[in-house]
Structure 1
Amino acid sequence: MKVSLRNVGLVVLGLLVLAAAAAWWTYNYEYVEREVILRPRGEASYNPLYALKLALQADGVQARSRQRLQLDDMPPGPRDTVLVLSDPRTLPVEDVERLLDWVRAGGHLLVRTPPLERGEATRAGELFDALRLRPLATGDCMRLAPPARAGGERGDDSKKATGAAFAFCSGTRFTMLGVEPLHAWGDLDNGYAYARLAHGAGTVDVVADFDFLTNASLEHPAFSALARQLLQPGWKRGTVHLVYAANMPSLWRLLLERAWMAWLPALLALVAWLWMRTQRFGPRLPSPEPARRALLEHVQASGEHLWRYGRASALYAAVREVFMARLRRRDPLAAALDGRAQVEAIARRTGASPADIEQALQTPRPNDGADFRQRIARLLQLRQQL
């Protein structure tokens, strides 16, 4: 098979173009690595102390985390450490008493101050009343210096990872009523942001807030060093129990903040449908009366219709026929008579005067309503007397 030189030239030219494009791409572009921070998944998405637990376990410290205190199911040992992240006012009185008894036996408890409610009138709670502490108004932030390096030098303040950090910015300061702390951070005028109190054979650490121990903040070396100092009394002597509160927002708040893309169009569609279905504006119209099927109303309406169109004789004839039907059942002999004899026979049976009976058996005058009603009423009366 012969191959055309023209086709071979086109193939070679195409290969050269592809090679040139590949060489240009390789020369101008290079592979680089880029870190992308993903959203936390699993326990890290709902446990704010998850990073602290992993850090403690990496240092050889036994650490456990749970949502509730659960003293009955998992009681702490005499050398353990318990960190309560949630508001201490939510602890029941029984749990507060058991925690304080455990601290007197040698335990180490870490708690935070409750958030402010009405300035300095914030309710302290059972635990703070027992420790003789009172919350104060929020104070200023405290600057944490970066930890010293091996050579005794401070880290570079120009770098965010090793620079100074600020803690207790949103926490509630507190004051102590006749209590001498082992260590404290603050003063009487502005309140204390941290204090370590001796309670029996154990200690209680009170901190303005635990924001520096959460997953996002623990990466800072200054916060890590502060966490290490807080956990020093029970370091590697027992288990560290990290008790956090799963503060899930309400369903309505989640729908309002996260699902507005669904409910807002649905609400607009509902409003548009109601607008289309609205016939007019103004006061509400009364409901129509339901259809009525009473037999007497139909009879009355039929009688009024016949009377209006001059058919009163038909109405009288119907009533007279009803009277004569009963007369045939009660007195066949009187019903078979005719004329004056029949009138006298009915008078003897009913006790009425012959004149009244004779008048009632005669057809009423046309267009005389009074005479018509009188004859009809007399016939009905005589029918009852038969």
Structure 2
Amino acid sequence: MNRRTLWLVGALIVVLLGTLSVYLFLKARPYQEVVDHGPSPAAQANPYLAAEMFLRERGLNVSHAESQAVLADIDPRGHTLLLFGERSKMPPRQIDQVLNWTRAGGRLVFVAESLWDERSKQSNDLLLDRVQLHQSLSKDLKDPPEDQEQDRYPQLTKLYLEDEDAPAYAGFDTDFHLEDPNNLAQAWANSAKATHMMQLTYGLGTVTVVTDADLWKTPSIGEYDNAWLLWYLSAETDVTLIYNTEHEGLLALLWRYFPQAIVALLALIGLWLWHVAVRHGPVQAPAPTGRRQLQEHLRASADFILRHNGQHTLLQALQQDVLRRARRRHPGFDQLNVAEQWLALSRLTRQPTRAISQALSPPPKQRMSAADFSRQVARLQTLRNTL
């Protein structure tokens, strides 16, 4: 290939590249594309971040904390405490601290966490019990009368205000219902069938109880009048939000950040246990059958029953033996109820009724530890021997 041919090929390539560039320039159109990378780390760490930002836009000073230790430094007058965190492990001392703070003039908003138990006359939510409100399931309520005016939005909670023609709508979870057996509430909000928010005066302050706070999480706070309701409950005050009153333990944190190290440590412990458990020396030969005694036969029979029938059968047999001896010692024993039977056994054996109840209680279905099983057998043998 001579020099002239090379120049022609080069010129042709330049012309083609130029033509392609002009074509692409004429056809290309600039555009913008929004890439959603999901919630920011701050939003992931704080489910109420949007609620805080909304309240700040309304001119409120908002802060959040992970424990109630901040209450000691907060003046209750002109302050709202949003207690949205898990409270199952909150001790009575902290309950008293929150209520004393509210009684001194603070606004308290918290979520009812447990259902009312009619038999025990309490719930597992001590704070809810202290303000004398009850929570139940909406499905347990009677249906409203059929002739009642038709509700256009039965699943939404409606809050009626004075001098307002239309109610505010909030998206509470309608599965739960709040009750006020002592008529203490001064304001409330209902859906078509149940009540989901109650407000009452508490000393110089106010207490607002809601069935859930998910309507104020991201993105539910932007629906209906959810954001407005949160502002209404905390208007003209500073706000402190507590949404995490329970911290992870040391083991949970170690597993979260060092799982490989924990697995390696467990493997080393397992190898060490396997090493020390290796039998050294010859296996002991079984004893000749000619020298076995009655006690050995009894022990072997008990071991057989324990392996094949479990602890439940052995304990039940001992309990039946105790009751059989009690019938011989105390005429009419079977006609007594359980409490009277325990009292009769206490008089016969001179054992406390607590020890008798522990011994004669039905054996648990799950397997007991060796120590617990031995203690239970010892209690029953003591009763049987004293009869």
Q: TM-score, normalised by structure 1?
A: 0.52
Question: Once the two structures are superposed, what CA deviation does each residue of 1:244-286 show, in whole Å capped at 9, x if it has no partner?
Answer: 11666778889999999x89x99xx99xxx9xxxxxxxxx999
Distance 1:119-1:220 versus aligned 2 partners, 3 A rule: farther
Question: Which of 181, 201, 220 is matched with 2:185 structurally?
Answer: 181
Q: Is the 8 A contact 1:88 1:112 kept in 2?
A: no
Residue 35 in 1 paired to residue 35 in 2?
A: yes
Once the 2 structures are TM-superposed, how far is the Cα of residue 82 of structure 1 from its aligned partner? Answer: 0.5
Amino acid at match of 2:173: F
- Where 1:226 maps in the other structure, the secondary structure is helix
The count of corresponding residues between Structure 1 and Structure 2 is 254
Conservation of the 8 A alpha-carbon contact between 2:81 and 2:107: yes
Contact 2:87 2:245 in 1 (8 A): no
Match of 2:226 in 1: 223
Q: How big is the shift at 1:128?
A: 1.9
* 3-state SS of 2:40 partner: coil
Q: Which structure: larger Rg?
A: 1
> Counterparts of 1:97-112 in structure 2 under 5 Å?
97-112=96-111
Amino acid at match of 1:107: G
Structure 1 contact 89–124 (Cα < 8 Å) conserved: yes
Q: How does 1:191-206 map to 2 (within 5 A)?
A: 191-206=194-209
Per-residue CA distance 1:146-184 (angstroms, 9 max, x = gap): xxxxxx99xxxxxxxxxx8743246x4221111242221
Judged with a 3 Å threshold, the aligned counterparts in structure 2 of structure 1 residues 254 and 137 are, in CA distance, closer, same or farther, namely farther
Q: CA deviation at 1:135?
A: 1.6
Q: Which moved more, 1:84-93 or 1:105-114?
A: 84-93
Between the aligned residues of both structures, percent identity stands at 20
Q: Give yes or no for contact 1:87–1:112 (8 Å, CA) kept in 2.
A: no
The question of whether the paired residues in 2 share the 8 Å contact of 1:68 and 1:245 is answered with: yes
- Read off the aligned partner of 1:210 and give its amino acid letter: A
Task: Report the AA paired with residue 36 of structure 1.
Answer: D
Higher mean C-alpha deviation, range 172-181 or range 25-34: 25-34
Mapped to 1, the partners of 2:156 and 2:258 lie a distance apart of: 40
Distance 2:119 2:8 in 1: 91
Name the counterpart of 1:94.
Answer: 93
Matches within 5 A, 1:346-357: none
The verdict on how the C-alpha distance between 1:12 and 1:109 changes in structure 2, with shifts beyond 3 A counting, is same
Counterparts of 1:184 and 1:113, CA distance in 2: 14
1:143 aligns with 2:156: yes
1 CA distance for matches of 2:60 and 2:119?
A: 39
Distance 1:115 1:37 in 2: 37
Q: Which whole-Å CA distance do the structure 2 matches of 1:219 and 1:194 have between them?
A: 19
**SS of alignment partner, residue 220 of structure 2:** coil
CA distance, structure 2, for counterparts of residue 95 and residue 258 of structure 1: 31
Aligned partner of 1:8 in structure 2 is 7
1:95-134 matched pairs, under 5 angstroms: 95-116=94-115, 123-134=123-134
Partner of residue 280, structure 1:
none
Distance 1:248 1:18, change over 3 A: farther
The aligned residue for residue 48 of structure 2 is 49
Partner SS state of residue 111, structure 1: strand
Q: Structure 2: where are the runs of 5+ without partners? A: 141-153, 159-164, 272-277, 284-387
Which residue of 2 is the match for residue 167 of structure 1? 172
Contact 1:46 1:246 in 2 (8 A): no
- C-alpha change, 1:205 and 1:258, in structure 2 (3 Å) is same
CA distance in 2, matches of 1:60, 1:112: 25
The 3 A distance-change label for structure 1 pair 220 and 254 is farther
C-alpha separation in 2, matches of 1:101 and 1:88 = 17
Structural RMSD (CA): 4.6
Unaligned runs of 5+ in 1: 146-151, 154-163, 275-283, 290-386
